[in-house]
Structures are given as C-alpha cells and as structure tokens.
Amino acid sequence: MSDILQQLNDVQRQAVQTTSGPVMVLAGAGSGKTRVITYRIAYLIEQERVEPHQILALTFTNKAAKEMRHRIDQLLHQGSTRGLWIGTFHSVFARILRNYIHLIGYNSNFSIYDSDDSKSLVKQVMKELNIDTDSVPVNTIQGIISRAKNNFILPPQFQRDAADYNQQKAAKVYEVYTRKLKENNALDFDDLLIKPLELFVESPQLLEQLQDYFRYILIDEYQDTNRAQYLVAKQLASKHRNIFVVGDDAQSIYSWRGADITNILNFQQDYPDSSVFKLVENYRSTQTILKAANGIIRKNRRQIEKELVSHKSTGEPLTLIESFNEKREADKVGEYIRSLKLSKDYEYRDFAVFYRTNAQSRVLEDVLRLHRLPYRIFGSVSFYKRKEIKDAIAYLRFILNDHDNESLLRVINFPPRKIGDVSINKLRDFAESRNLSLYGAIRHAAEGGFQARLLNALNAFSSIIEQLKEISREGSVYDVLNSLYELTGIPLLLRAENTPEAMARYENLQELLSMARDFSDHHQGANGLNDFMNDIALATDSDEIQESDNYVSLMTVHAAKGLEFPVVFITGLEEKLFPLNYYEQEELEEERRLFYVALTRAQEKLYLSWSKSRYHYGQPQGCIRSMFIDEVDSDIVESEGGRLLSESRMERERPRQGVQQAGRFNGRSSVPSSFHERPRGEGAGVKKTSDMKAGTRVHHAMFGPGVVMAVQGSGSRQKAQIKFRNAGEKTLMVQYANLTIVS
C-alpha cells in the first residue's frame, strides 16, 4: 500500500492518510477525486485494519459505486472488500429500511413505487379530494411533494407553511398520499431518504447501533446532497465523527433537483475541527483554459476559494465565434469540426458541442446532418424523437392524411380527452360496420349511438382537426403549428405544470414553432406543409444510421458534468439563454458555476459562441452577448480572425486617447470619468441617455454594468428598469442615475 500511495500527489496522499475526524476534500475539476475516495477506503482496510463492513461509501449513481468497488478490488486482494457498504443513497437506505422499518409500522416486504406508480396514486388522491387536474396538473402536485420530502418537510409543517394556491392543494394531497402509501405498505423514492430519519427519531437505540456499525462514512459529490441526505449522514456520523466528504462547490449545479450548496459551504461550521484539503492540480486542461475558468468562478460571492493549476502547456487561446443567427452559428461549428479534423488529425469523438437547453439541439442536429458529420445526443434523445415533438408531428401528419390511424391514435388523447381503449374499440367496430375510416367514424359518431360524454370529446377533437385542415389550405406551416398550439392548449398545459421536465418539453415545442417560422419565411407555395413534413421525415430517418462510436457529442451543460473532450464548443452564449433568466444573485451564481463546468470539460481547445439573433417562440429576436463572455480575460480570447480581443480593444481605444489629450490641452477632458471606471469586457462606445432602450448596455458608478430591460416615460420623468450584473434588478430615475451607455 505504501508503494501505491506513491501514485498520489502530496495533497491527495495527506487526505487519504488523515483517517480520524471530519475531513473535507475540495476536489477541483479534473483533480482526481475518485482516486482519493478509493485509495482512502483501501488504506483504511489495508493499513488501519478497519473491517470492510464498518465503512459506508455513498454515491449518486450506480455507475460511480460500481467503478469505486472495481478500483478498490484492483488495489487490494480480490475479496478483501467483502462486506463493504458502497452504493447510492437510495440503495443503501433501502437496504437499512428492509431490516428495521418494522419499527415505524411497515412490513419489511414493502413495495418501492417508481415515478409512474407515485403519479398514479397522487392522481387517485386528487380525484378523492375533488381537486381538478386541469386547475393543478398532477405532475405539479407530485413535484411539490417531492421537493418537500427532499427538504425533510413532513405534511403537518408543509400544511402550516403552504403559501400559494398550488401549495395549499398539494398540502391536502400530501397528507392523504402519505397515509395511503403506508396503507399500501409502500414507499416512493423520496421516502427512501426520509424514512431513515423517522426511524432514528422513533428508535435512538437503532441510531446508536448504526453509528457503531458504520464507523467511517465517505460521501462522493457532497455539493449535490439535499437536506434529507445531509441530515441522515450527519446523524450517522455524529458519534465517531469520521465523516469524509469529497466535492466541489464550484460544480454545484443541481439546485432544481433539490441539491443544497450550503451543505458543502457550511461543512467547516458543522465540524469546526475538520481537516480541509484542496485538490487543485488539474490533469485535464491547458493553462489557458484553467485561467478562464478560475477567472469566471472568482466572481461568485458564495464560494470556497481555490485556484486550479495545470501541468499541461499554456495551450491555445479561446476562440470567440460571433454569428448572425443560430443557423450560421451551427454552420460555423460544423466548419470548425471539419477543418480541425483534417488539419490536426482529431477524431469525431474528440469534439463536444454544449448548449444550455435541450431545445437548442435542433438547429445543430439539422446542420451537422446536412454536413454529413456523425453525432449523438448525450443524456437525451434526438430532437425529433422527443415525445412532445413526435406528438406535434403526428398532428401535422394527420392533417395531411386523415386515414393515418397510427397518427390518429397517438394524438386523440394528446392532450387528455378521456377517450379510452374501450371507446376506441367501439369506434373501430362502428367504422367497419359502415365501411368508414377510423376518422370517418369519429366524424359520423352521432349516428353510432355513443354516450354523450364520448360524443362531446370526439366532436371537440374533430373540430380541431377540421379547423387545422382549413388553415393548412391557405396558411403557412407556422400558421398551422401556431394554431395547433392555440386550439389544443398543449404549451399552456406544460407551462401550468411548471416542473423542470415540463418546461423542457415546452421549450422543445417552441423550438419546433421557431423551425416552422424559419421554414415559412424561406419556403412559399401551396405544398408548404408537405415539404416541411418531408424534411422532418428525412431528418428522422437519418437518425438511425449511426453505427460507429466515432461521433460528435451534443449535450446540455448539465449532461456534460463528469465528462471531458479535447475540443469543446459552448454555444448560445447570450443573455436570457446562458445565463438563463435569473432573478436572484443565487440563481446567477449557479448559472456561472454551470459555465465553469462547461469550461473545465475542455482539454485542449475551447470555443465560445453567440448569435446576434435567434428564433424565440417562433419569432426572430435580437440577442445580447452573454455577460459570461465579457467575464473571461480578454488576453486569452481571440476573434475568429486570430486576433486577441485585448489587442482589438486597445486598437479601438487609441483614437479616444488622442481626443482625451486634445481635451486636456484645452484644460478639460473630453472623455467622461465614468468611461475610465468601466470594467474590462464592456463595449467601448458612449451614447446619450436619450438613446436608451430595452437591450442597451449601461454602467452605473455604484451598481456597475447592467442591461436595460424596459424604459418608461420621457424627459425628467423617465424611468429605466435595469438588470445589473452584480446588484440585481433596479428601477432608476434616468435624470438622477448618472448612467453611462456603452455599446
């Protein structure tokens, strides 16, 4: 084992050998965190003679747990890890509950409900409580209950604190849902995290027994733990206090899933006697890439300071790609990939293209397909294979061909119309008896003796189809799809659901609308919808041809965490896209951490890309360059022409220096003092405040740089609503604000 430890750097070795008391390892991107955890477990078993069963290692994925166990087996003799507790939070806690859940009134053979089972029970409870699923979607209620459980908020407290309408309805459901789960001797996935806490309250003796059993607790990705996970780990470790956590606050990007960054930020407050080790030696990226990443994350207020260092060469500057629109942006990405592959012998697998939202993949997919560049969507499915897109396309296909029964059956209950299998079978029988198509049977359903409720649903459906057919005869593809959304209300239902999954589906539908608008703008003629569907059919068909593992990876930045690639493109770097809309400082800081994660995936070359315009909800809109681009040191960023941005800025500022000197010759300066105070990265032009409008970049002496969101009034009564980079949103009287407008 002493020989093996020679493979660790000094800080890693110290962390592994500090086996007593609380330890936090701040593992920067690419610094070898998995190695530290596995070597520590091996060290405890081999050198400290700790029994394997006394070690509890908690991870977030089965893949991570499997990899750790494999590495430990390689370090030690095969079989030396028998009895070692290593697994995900859910799997380990489920194992504990199987043995002891009888103490809180469940049988050990309890069922574990997956998301669909849970949703079904929530829906049943809502029906019993007469809560209309149209007013509050089932997924919304399910999501609210899940978040409450992850924060260890039980029904009585949640009912007291419920603020808005949705929470009040969810509180009623939560109470009954919890009772029915117990009646069914069942737990949902969130219960696997909170039932151990209930168990410890009910049986302090059991807690003490487990504390003695698990003398050493190790937690991977500690920055991703939620409140319930934090509390269970803290209670298990409270006696022997041998808790070892590994994580990186700079890579905390899952607050929307319940992750609480304060768990890692407050570790030293929870354990004042803790040892802290910072792993900052990065084995992945060039010095230039790390300089960009360090500079970005330094701007966050809530962080534990550390500076990544690289043993690689300086490397190339980052390249800034500026495009007229998103299609040109995708074209340029494809051109760079093709060029680099030829000039530097890269394989396709060496390239990754990142974006902030799933919907952005569509344009990239279309262009890469056009250029015959092989690609795969990582962590998701191809745009045209996403359920909501296939549903919308089925509507369009059916409008063109109402004999297409496959499309009909796909959309007849999208959105839900309560037309079940029994009703469909009756319609089939009626269609056969009258020698009609299935849709023909729907159109003549009044002659079939069906119940009034079913007749109303069928008439409502056929009315939508007939209206869309009429629109398709004269209108554009955009008109048809936009009308489909309005008549069915599908996007509104997704927005009302307001879960991360629903909002992603909503954005995908809006991207399809943008595609339809772009197509309509460039394709005139009577066969518009047919041509549009042909393009989609060809695109869908080409998704099937990928056999090799040599392809360009497309993914959201969230999906990229934990991965690395020689060449990375970060696309869509525009305000309101990346960073996505933010309203609080904490949200902006998480967006910045997400950008940091994107930067640190790159090993050799990094491209930052933005578009001056982009289709948004079916309309072309002007875009503002992301603040994150301006936060990267301009000395390490070059334009597409190969010139450093800092050099270009100096060139632009030279004439002003001459003007300033001429002004001083006359006894005054011609350049406002606020211009000299403006931070690096802002544009160079200065305009009058009368030119101010939404989208204008400004600078304020106290609040710093910002972007105008709206302007109201005129003259001395004019007000500006401004989102400042560091101070948040402010509404200022323009006359007294002393704003500098920059371009």
Instruction: Point out the residues that are catalytic.
Output: 33-34, 220-221, 251, 601
Q: Which helix (H) or strand (E) holds 529?
A: helix 528-542
Asked whether residue 33 is marked as a ligand-binding residue, the answer is: yes
Tally Cβ neighbours within 10 Å of residue 206. 16
Asked whether residue 489 is marked as a ligand-binding residue, the answer is: no
Contact predicate 652/682, CB 8 Å: no
CA angle 682, 688, 694 (to 5 degrees): 65
Sign of the dihedral through C-alpha 568, 574, 580, 585: positive
For the record, the structure tokens of 294 come out as: 């360090």
Whole-number Å distance between alpha carbons of 617 and 540: 22
Three-class SS of residue 136?
Answer: coil
Whole-number Å distance between alpha carbons of 250 and 252: 6
Asked whether residue 526 is marked as a ligand-binding residue, the answer is: no
Whole-number Å distance between alpha carbons of 270 and 260: 15
Asked whether residue 27 is marked as a ligand-binding residue, the answer is: yes
Which residues, 6 or more positions from 51, have their beta carbon under 8 angstroms from its beta carbon? 83
Q: Based on the number of CB atoms within 10 Å of its own CB, is 322 exposed (0-12), middle (13-18) or buried (19 or more)?
A: middle
Tally Cβ neighbours within 10 Å of residue 142. 23
Among 79, 83, 84, residue whose Cα is nearest residue 40 = 84
Asked whether residue 286 is marked as a ligand-binding residue, the answer is: no
Asked whether residue 30 is marked as a ligand-binding residue, the answer is: yes
Tally Cβ neighbours within 10 Å of residue 660. 16
Contact predicate 26/247, CB 8 Å: yes
Q: Is the peptide bond before 566 cis (omega within 30 degrees of 0)?
A: no
Beta partners for residue 556, in sequence order = 355
Whole-number Å distance between alpha carbons of 236 and 212: 9
Whole-number Å distance between alpha carbons of 217 and 86: 10
> Which 3-state string (H, E, C) describes 667-729?
CCCCCCHHHHHCCCCCCCCEECHHHCCCCCEEEECCCEEEEEEEEECCHHHCEEEEEECCCEE
Region class of 689: left (phi > 0), else alpha (psi between -120 and 50), else beta: alpha
With b for 16 or more beta-carbon neighbours within 10 A and e for fewer, the 338-361 pattern comes to eebbeeeebebbbbbbbbbbbbbb
Q: Which helix (H) or strand (E) holds 376?
A: strand 375-377
Whole-number Å distance between alpha carbons of 6 and 608: 39
Q: Is the peptide bond before 415 cis (omega within 30 degrees of 0)?
A: yes
Q: Which residues are annotated as a binding site?
A: 27-34
Q: Which residues are annotated as a binding site for ATP?
A: 27-34
